[in-house]
Every structure is written in structure tokens, then in C-alpha cells.
């Protein structure tokens, strides 16, 4: 909460970042993508994918649901 992304109102829940300052994230692991984002300057140009319905949207919803579930001991 209170992040620049939230304040801009342009990035929404379930948006997928596919490019950061001209660098594609298509072949990057999650840790690599995080590192790229951390190494940006004050201003950053993002390219996003937004799924509002369909199979990819449902897949994202399921992934979020499973991520929020506690793991069993």
C-alpha cells in the first residue's frame, strides 16, 4: 500500500509486467525479474499484460489463490 504503482492507478491486481525499460522479462526467472526492477532509476517504463477474462485470467486467479493458502506441515 502507498507504493508509486498504487498511487498512479495504472497498475492493477493481476497485471503482468512483461518489459522493464526495454528489457523483456519473457526469458527471466522471478528472481532475475525482481533484480531488474530493483536496478531501475527514479523513473521506469513498464509494459504490462492485463487479463480480464479467459483461460489466462483464470490461471492467474488460481495461482493467486494457491499462493495465499497456508502450506500444510
Taking the C-alpha atoms of residue 23 and residue 28, their distance in angstroms, rounded to an integer, is: 10
The string over 20-41, giving b where at least 16 C-beta atoms fall within 10 Å of a residue's C-beta and e elsewhere, is beeeebeeeeeeebeebeeeee
pLDDT recorded at residue 70: 65
Give the domains, in start order, of the chain with CATH numbers: 4-68 (2.30.42.10)
H-state helical runs in 1-73: 4-8, 30-38, 55-68
- Per-residue CA distances from 56 to 17, 18, 51 (Å): 14, 14, 7
Taking the C-alpha atoms of residue 23 and residue 5, their distance in angstroms, rounded to an integer, is: 19
Please list the rounded mean pLDDT of every run of 10 residues in the chain (73 residues).
Answer: 78 86 94 94 90 71 71 62
Q: Is the pTM of this model over 0.75?
A: no
Amino acid at each position: 500500500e502507498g507504493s508509486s504503482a498504487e498511487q498512479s492507478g495504472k497498475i492493477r491486481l493481476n497485471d503482468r509486467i512483461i518489459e522493464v525499460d526495454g528489457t523483456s522479462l519473457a526469458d527471466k526467472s522471478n528472481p532475475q525479474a525482481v533484480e531488474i526492477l530493483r536496478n531501475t532509476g527514479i523513473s521506469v517504463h513498464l509494459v504490462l499484460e492485463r487479463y480480464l477474462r479467459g483461460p489466462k485470467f483464470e490461471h492467474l486467479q488460481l495461482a493467486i489463490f494457491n499462493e495465499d493458502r497456508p502450506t500444510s506441515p
